[in-house]
Amino acid sequence: MKSSLRKRDKELSQRYNILLTDKRTDFIVDRAIEKSIDINTILEGLSSVYNRVKDFEEGFFNKHSIKITFEDGALDKIAKKAMDKDEDAFDICSELVMNYEHGFKLIRERAQRDEFLITEDAVENPEGYLSKLIKESYTAIED
């Protein structure tokens, strides 16, 4: 299955508007086997999740004038959670970033920073990620 996906990488990436990384390919194949779901259904689900995350990024910017971008690893974690628990990726992002809004605004005020990359670590450890960003903003000001 993996080699078949890799051979069709460009075609599938264009059709579903997602980059098929090795990690995503593994996830797709594992999920297809585990859940007995065909690959196209999984790709459609991933595409939908990624579109919802992009919608969230745009909405967050429009509401707060702060640009957030979910890196590939974070997207994959959110997609897995959304698909495993049948949750909306937008809601997962809202819950995750809800704790960041105040911290992002504080950092913007102190360090004049208004762009943030949401990493895989941020999805796994939101409090630690935000604490690290705040500490970095204080260090940047002191320098």
- The contacts of residue 26 (CB under 8 Å, 6+ apart) are 2
Q: Kindly report, residue by residue over 112-127, the tens digit of the pLDDT.
A: 888 999 999 999 998 8
Q: Kindly report, residue by residue over 75-112, the tens digit of the pLDDT.
A: 999 999 999 999 999 999 999 988 788 888 888 888 88
Question: Over the Cα atoms of the chain, what is R_g?
Answer: 17
The pLDDT score that the predictor gives to residue 142 is 56
The answer to whether residues 80 and 122 touch, using CB atoms and an 8 Å cutoff, is: no
Residue 116, strand partner residues: 68
d(CA 118, CA 23): 18
Global pTM reads 0.86
- With cut-offs at 50, 70 and 90, classify the pLDDT of residue 135: confident
Higher pLDDT, 99 or 131: 131
Single out the residue of 10, 21, 15, 85 nearest to residue 44, CA to CA. Answer: 15
Q: Tell me: pLDDT of 141 over 70.
A: no
d(CA 53, CA 75): 8
